[in-house]
Chain A
Amino acid sequence: MPNHFLGVEGASVSFGKREAQVRALRDVSESFERGTLSLVMGPSGSGKTTLLSLLGCLLSPDEGTVFVDGVEVNGLSEAERTVVRQKKISFVFQAFRLFHSLSAIDNVALGFELRDAALPGRKEMARDLLVRFGLGDKLNQEPNELSPGEKQRVAIARALAGNPPILLADEPTASLDAQAGRNICQILRSQVDDDGRTVVVVSHDPRWREFADRTINLCDGQVEQEEKNL
């Protein structure tokens, strides 16, 4: 069995029981190399988010194996998988999922705290990240005072807090206008090019093809097509 940096091997996942059972993934094997941006596309219900959940240790497959940072994570307990997420994986969501009562800087500082509660200077590092993403004048704004594009940039800053090697993004541009969406594409691409991170993006947005190293098309829980972009 190959030892992937990030990937699944023969993974199958079903939801529901008996007649209501839906097979979200069927015997999927995919490997995501270190320092690449992979785009996962496909129609609704094709299994994109299920694949992302497997890679993010949020779900265990009914069959098959999941690798994160070269380690098989199937047999890990919930607490152990939490530690894997804490150390290795970060997420960017379509709905941003910022903490509504915290300011932008506190949201990012919380990202640092979750990865290392004893880390000193969390607030300063959060400020640096936000300044890097052009949000230096929005540090103390609460999420409801930010535009969708700004919210997503704060969410990405929070995801990058603690420097995780893997970034999983679920429809990160779906709620954004064209300009803000392109900006997010560039930011995530730079994470690969500048910092060597492994990024997996699930999206319906064709603009991502321009920024992805390869595209995986899923249909009915299976890999239908795989193409290299760059």
Chain B
Amino acid sequence: MKLAWQNIVHDRARFSVTVLGVSFAVFLMVFQGSLLVGFLRAASRLIDASDSDIWITARGVQAFEFGTPIESRVREMAAGVPGVLETSRVCMAFAVYRTPNGKQQVVALVGADRNVGKRFPVPDVPGSAEGMSPDAVLYDVSDRDLIQVTALPAQVEVNRHRASIEHQIEGYGAFLGVPFLFTSYRNATRYMGFGPEEAMYVLLRVDSGYSTSHVQQDLRQRLPEVDVLTRNEFARKSRTYWTIKTGAGGAILTAALLGFLIGLVVVSQTIFANTMENIEEYATLKALGASQAFVARIVLTQALICGAVGSILGLLAVVPSIGYAKSLIPWIYTPWWLLLVMVVPSLAMCALASIASVRSALTVEPGRVFRA
């Protein structure tokens, strides 16, 4: 297979173009893949951050961001179902936020009880920053420009109520351009104007001796007017809504697919040109007794070498780029497996791109060797 390697190294310009094509495709696929994974993660981030096993929502709620009120008695009724260990509440609504310098901004205000879960960004959770008042408001550091807070604590207004921003957190930045603010449930209902008979999300923890699905079935029978979903079901529903029903996921997937297709065309074209340029050598090989498999292996090896080198360069370029992109798109996320997984389609792309070339090399007539 030295011939395969030497052929591509010998024509460095063409090799560079092929490798660049693969790198570009890998870069685009990994970048778009990171956007998609990050988007999916962000779409259910708050649901996943809770410790609850079951979420009760109003009928037909598609995503966490679009909850509608339910009666607060649902919480009391749910608490009485066998197997329910603990209940907590979460609410979310869009609110008008007035910055310290008087500018107005729409924010997504999230309130939660302190027992919602240790990872859920809410003040006064055991283990959270000390010296914070129970009604403090938190914001994500990536939204600093939108929130326009220069020093903490900062006195601001949320829906014309005085609020105190006391702490900044990380990992819960805006993914729809609207920053999140987090506060206690009690505080949030005050800002939102919820009555005592209203709730939005009731979260349940199931006793370890009970099956979550059995408790879920029981709740569904007792509370037919609401949706009873496991945490994973609600997270999936929320992700499906944002990625499929809004078309955002489709756009990201399309861009990733385009990256694949562009890479395919570039690699296919350059490998085909390389094969045609060396077609006389393939004829010579066949005349000298090379089998079809030997000839095909040379073309395929060339394609895979280009794929491997291009993939490595693409990955080397995309990792720092995504690091930089995080400052602009805080929810972009690249899991380690995505880097590995993307090598497979890029090699498949190169193999696919070499089909036309393999065909040409295999069908070349060995008798042409006598033409000077």
List the interface of chain A (C-beta within 8 A of B): 49, 52-53, 56, 58-59, 79, 82-83, 85-87, 89-91, 93-95, 97, 99-102, 106, 110-111, 114-115, 158, 170-171, 174
Contacts and interface: CB of A to CB of B under 8 A. Distances in A.
Interface of B: 2-3, 6-7, 9-10, 280-281, 284-292, 294, 366-367, 369-370, 372
A59 B291 CA distance: 17
A101 B274 CA distance: 13
Given A53-B367, A106-B3, A110-B2, 13 more contacts: A58-B366, A79-B292, A82-B291, A83-B289, A85-B289, A86-B288, A87-B289, A91-B287, A93-B369, A95-B372, A106-B2, A115-B289, A174-B372
Given A53-B370, A82-B286, A111-B288, A99 B280 contact: no
Return the 7 tightest CB-CB contacts between A and B, nearest first: A86-B289, A101-B10, A101-B6, A58-B367, A85-B289, A97-B284, A49-B370
Contact of A101 (B3, B285, B369): B3
A91 B367 CA distance: 11
Contact of A91 (B3, B288, B292): B288
Nearest to A97: B284
B288 A85 contact: yes
B289 A82 contact: yes
A99 B292 contact: no
Contact of A90 (B9, B10, B288): B288
Nearest to B10: A101
A143 to B, nearest CB: 11
Contacts of B6: 99, 101-102, 106
A66 to B, nearest CB: 14
B287 A56 contact: yes
Contacts of A52: 370
Contacts of A101: 3, 6-7, 9-10
Contact of A94 (B286, B288, B367, B372): B372
B280 A97 contact: yes
Nearest to B294: A114
B291 to A, nearest CB: 6
Contacts, number: 71
B271 to A, nearest CB: 15
Contacts of A102: 2-3, 6
A22 to B, nearest CB: 15
Contacts of B2: 102, 106, 110
B3 A114 contact: no
Given A49-B370, A53-B370, A99 B3 contact: yes
Contacts of A174: 372
B370 A114 contact: no
A203 to B, nearest CB: 13
B366 A114 contact: no
Contact of A79 (B288, B291, B370): B291
A6 B345 CA distance: 51
A114 B285 contact: yes
A106 B291 CA distance: 19
Contacts of A56: 287
Contacts of B366: 58
Contacts of A115: 289
A85 B369 CA distance: 14
Of A87, A90, A94, A99, which is in contact with the most chain B CB atoms at under 10 Å from its CB?
Answer: A99
Of A49, A82, A93, which is in contact with the most chain B CB atoms at under 10 Å from its CB?
Answer: A82
B293 to A, nearest CB: 10
Contacts of B286: 82
A101 B291 CA distance: 20
Contacts of A93: 284, 369-370
B180 to A, nearest CB: 59
B283 to A, nearest CB: 8
A99 B369 contact: no
Contacts of B285: 114
A19 B25 CA distance: 52
A97 to B, nearest CB: 4
Contacts of B288: 85-86, 90-91, 111, 114, 158
Contacts of B370: 49, 52-53, 58, 93, 170
18 contacts: A52-B370, A58-B287, A82-B289, A85-B287, A85-B288, A85-B289, A87-B289, A89-B289, A94-B372, A97-B369, A99-B284, A100-B10, A101-B6, A101-B7, A106-B3, A106-B6, A114-B285, A174-B372
